[in-house]
Structure 1
């Protein structure tokens, strides 16, 4: 649980021992060091998913109808494991950064096998889908199920299963034909390639330059692997020069989170104001979120990956800003689906946020086609079929609104 919530570096063996009610020396009798425990926990997560889906993956399918039935079983099995291991399965987001090569290969190949199992079934279910697009659809569906491990919103388990599986199926059934005909996502390729934040002017102050450098380094290497000397070197300062602007590396991290949070809130408010109907407002929110994520992908990577490294007071302040941002989305989503309560709406929205964050690491280029795909993914999860539009047509496996 500690690794899932906080990552690797902030967690000590004493923290883990305290969480399970034993002493640190007793924990060392089972694991020689913290890394061994981290690696075993990460591999156990993927093995649990593989064990749960091994039987259904072996069922032969020869028609779309059979494939859909088998896919439904696999989705249900994965969903069950993700819910049951919610407190620990979030470790998957840290594995790529902290696992050593041999363990990383083992971990990645395990998730690759899980994806291949669903991919093979989906190929029979929807043989018309392009193989590359199928890869994104299958990965997105599995991310939708795993999104529950990235937040702590409480919803009754039966309803939670409905919400997660509805999101997964909205992607597996998504038609992307229109995206091959038009790239009109509104993200200029040059802006995306530059990864320049829209909130920072070209002639940025030295303080803003330090935040820019910190974001780039934190996104590329992780907060704990970056030194003050490296940050200073990026802007031609001595390490002591940083302290004229910030109290230290933790203050730089919080300044980066302040930038991201202010940007997200400002962008959401602007998008909300552009629509004249609830559906239009929600579409504007998803479009602006994807577009700006592409324009500063480094900032968004850092935003999702480094929250555990904030000081306690900074983390509480960030949480308030996150709630302000989320409340804008919840209001818009509940205008479309009045029967959703706030927590159910939050589950759907976190699914979209996690999906976009995870797929940022998959796309080979931040271009119009990639942005249009993610906008379609988000709209498929959040919008009713009648309002989704030609690029976002879905088959709703489970209704969003609770059964009366």
Structure 2
């Protein structure tokens, strides 16, 4: 009997775009969970390769993160650079905002990288992305100033930040709409900011240190929020939190079982305050339009009064346990749906998904305007936030 020939070993073909697959998967992971909570082994598993194979493309997690930020920055710069100059600054501004919006519709998960890139990136990488961001800011600001002669520079800067925040807002939620309709809606909402009459800034009273909570639990929460906002959740230890309130780590553990429990309590406190503000805002309104301005005003006041907790609220949810994150998102959706109901009542031409898009844009704008800007006041934030909702 003739022996069968041994089968020829099959050569496993390496995908030509493996590096791109790794980079796309990592970008989404970093965008969803943040830098510290993302593990390379999870990225390798999702791509279907071994960890050593991943390391051949990116030697360290930092290298992969920096490459992801670079890709997002390059995609934004390329999209905006393709917009040619127009005789009418408003036409050019709308085209730039539409290109920016489309980029974030393409990066709805990885787009959140911009929330923590400054904390993670090393100086040479930070400088490179900062230069790209500054270039974009200056182009939009010059168009805004050309469209509104006489607008003072601080107001032009604020409107630029607000418009970019609205255009980037699709990366903060998962509401679905047809792409062209979403682009037109979001870019149009950003354009409404061009004609907002910002209120005269109110004098900022000299800050005093004030009083601190007497209860240990409240003191721990307050200290932890400040540390999380400025240092990052994963960079802060329980010992750091204890030291801020004059306690050893064991003293902190008497009130909270873990650092994650402190973060959870802080975020739930903010979610509850946001929910409570809805009822009080609606009680002051008589029409849907008044309801939207009252909602925007209440939320803006929350943001201005406690920018640290808003910073943690916007960027810290990826560090929550999965069950807590799902519960928090359910409450967030309830708040968004309430706002969206009043948007539709004020603007019956809008669909419910379109209204939710605008609510997320308005909330994103309020948070972005107060973080790192101690001089902005609540009436100014509210004026911009309400304009996005009312059109």
Pairing 1:244-283 to 2, within 5 Å after superposition = 244-283=254-293
Q: Distance in 1 between matches of 2:388 and 2:43?
A: 36
Pairing 1:327-366 to 2, within 5 Å after superposition = 327-366=337-376
- Cα deviation for residue 22 of structure 1 reads 2.7
Q: Please, which runs of 5 or more residues in structure 1 have no aligned partner?
A: 385-404
Taking structure 1 as reference, are residues 66 and 324 closer, same or farther at Cα in structure 2, changes over 3 Å only? closer
TM-score scaled by structure 1?
0.85
Residue aligning to 1:77: 99
Residue aligning to 2:315: 305
Residue correspondences, number: 364
Q: Distance in 2 between matches of 1:356 and 1:95?
A: 20
Q: Which SS does the other structure have where 2:174 is aligned?
A: coil
Taking structure 1 as reference, are residues 174 and 362 closer, same or farther at Cα in structure 2, changes over 3 Å only? farther
Residue aligning to 2:385: 378
Residue aligning to 2:8: none
- Cα deviation for residue 325 of structure 1 reads 2.1
Q: Please, which runs of 5 or more residues in structure 2 have no aligned partner?
A: 1-27
Q: Which SS does the other structure have where 2:176 is aligned?
A: coil
- Cα deviation for residue 319 of structure 1 reads 1.4
Pairing 1:3-402 to 2, within 5 Å after superposition = 3-56=30-83, 59=85, 66-176=88-198, 179-180=199-200, 183=202, 189=205, 193=207, 203-366=213-376, 370-384=377-391
Q: Distance in 2 between matches of 1:85 and 1:128?
A: 36
Q: Distance in 2 between matches of 1:54 and 1:304?
A: 29
CA contact 1:76–1:165 (8 Å) conserved in 2 = yes
- Cα deviation for residue 195 of structure 1 reads 9.3
Q: Distance in 1 between matches of 2:79 and 2:280?
A: 44
Q: Distance in 1 between matches of 2:99 and 2:257?
A: 48
Q: Distance in 1 between matches of 2:288 and 2:90?
A: 33
TM-score scaled by structure 2?
0.87
The structure that has the greater radius of gyration is 2
Q: Distance in 2 between matches of 1:233 and 1:81?
A: 43
CA contact 2:212–2:219 (8 Å) conserved in 1 = no
Alpha-carbon RMSD: 2.1
Q: Distance in 2 between matches of 1:126 and 1:280?
A: 27
Higher-RCO chain (CA-CA 8 Å, sequence separation at least 6) = 1
Taking structure 1 as reference, are residues 144 and 290 closer, same or farther at Cα in structure 2, changes over 3 Å only? same
- Cα deviation for residue 203 of structure 1 reads 4.5
Residue aligning to 1:394: none
- Cα deviation for residue 362 of structure 1 reads 4.4
CA contact 1:119–1:135 (8 Å) conserved in 2 = yes
